């Protein structure tokens, strides 16, 4: 004679044990996300801004003359970069250390992704949207900015340089622009 009640109880115990284990795992993962968000400033980009990818180069913010780093009259530093198959325009941008910098990206063709090595800058660049990241670079030097989203045959050759200079070496020209050259 088999005791069905005892079997049921044993199964229930095992299930409960697994439920507690999985619940603990979920809490650990959530904790890791919250920790990374608060202490390391690693958050998903929250900007949602539309732009027509077909006319990027013709008018508006992302025309050639507006690309690169510029300083507004109120001192705000903004760097605009186009990610396109298979390069960044411009190939090199200058930013000041220890100062808030706004990075803005747009793509005229396919989905790209960018990250700046050794920093928390990491975002997708999706055609039709402006990707925006606010950050502060703390180390000076040339940082590598590769494309990290497979975008075609030339993906592995797609990279740019972010040149972080000390604040005293960051001198905008009369037009407010700062370039690598
Ligand atoms: Cu652009 Cu990969």
Model confidence over 98-134: pLDDT tens digits?
999 999 999 999 999 999 999 989 999 999 999 999 9
Joined tokens for residue 160: 């740019």
Strand order of the sheet with strand 141-146? 92-96, 159-165, 141-146
User: How many Cβ atoms sit within 10 Å of the Cβ of residue 98?
Assistant: 12
The verdict on the CB of residue 150 being under 6 Å from ligand 1 is: yes
Q: 45 pLDDT exceeds 80? A: no
pTM for the structure as a whole = 0.80
The verdict on the CB of residue 127 being under 6 Å from ligand 1 is: no
Q: 87 pLDDT exceeds 80? A: yes
Q: Between vectors from CA 112 to CA 172 and to CA 163, what angle results, nearest 5°?
A: 25
Closest ligand 1 atom to residue 152 Cα is: 2
The verdict on the CB of residue 125 being under 6 Å from ligand 1 is: no
Closest ligand 1 atom to residue 86 Cα is: 1
Report, as an integer, the average pLDDT of 58-86. 92
CA of 165 to the centre of ligand 1 (A): 26
The verdict on the CB of residue 106 being under 6 Å from ligand 1 is: no
Q: What are phi and psi of 64, to 5 degrees?
A: -55, -40
Q: How far apart are the C-alpha atoms of 54 and 62, rounded to whole Å? A: 12
> What pLDDT band is residue 1 in, cutting at 50, 70 and 90?
low
Task: Please give the pLDDT value at position 16.
Answer: 97
The verdict on the CB of residue 149 being under 6 Å from ligand 1 is: yes
The verdict on the CB of residue 145 being under 6 Å from ligand 1 is: no
Q: For the chain, what is the mean pLDDT? A: 92
CA of 180 to the centre of ligand 1 (A): 22
Closest ligand 1 atom to residue 125 Cα is: 1
- Express each pLDDT in 64-75 by its tens digit: 989 999 998 888
The verdict on the CB of residue 112 being under 6 Å from ligand 1 is: yes
């Amino acid at each position: 004679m088999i005791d069905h009640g005892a079997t049921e109880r044993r199964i229930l115990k095992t299930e409960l044990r697994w439920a507690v284990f999985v619940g603990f795992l979920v809490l650990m993962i959530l904790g890791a996300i919250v920790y990374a968000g608060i202490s390391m400033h690693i958050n998903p980009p929250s900007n949602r801004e539309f732009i027509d990818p077909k006319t990027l180069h013709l008018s508006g913010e992302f025309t050639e003359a507006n690309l690169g780093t510029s300083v507004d009259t109120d001192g705000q530093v903004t760097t605009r970069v186009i990610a396109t198959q298979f390069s960044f325009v411009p190939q090199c941008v200058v930013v000041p250390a220890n100062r808030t910098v706004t990075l803005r990206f747009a793509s005229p063709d396919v989905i790209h992704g960018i990250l700046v090595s050794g920093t928390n800058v990491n975002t997708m660049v999706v055609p039709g949207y402006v990707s925006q990241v606010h950050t502060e670079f703390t180390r000076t030097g040339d940082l590598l900015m590769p494309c990290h989203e497979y975008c075609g045959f030339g993906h592995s050759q797609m990279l740019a340089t972010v040149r972080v200079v000390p604040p005293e070496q960051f001198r905008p020209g009369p037009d407010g622009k700062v370039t690598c050259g």
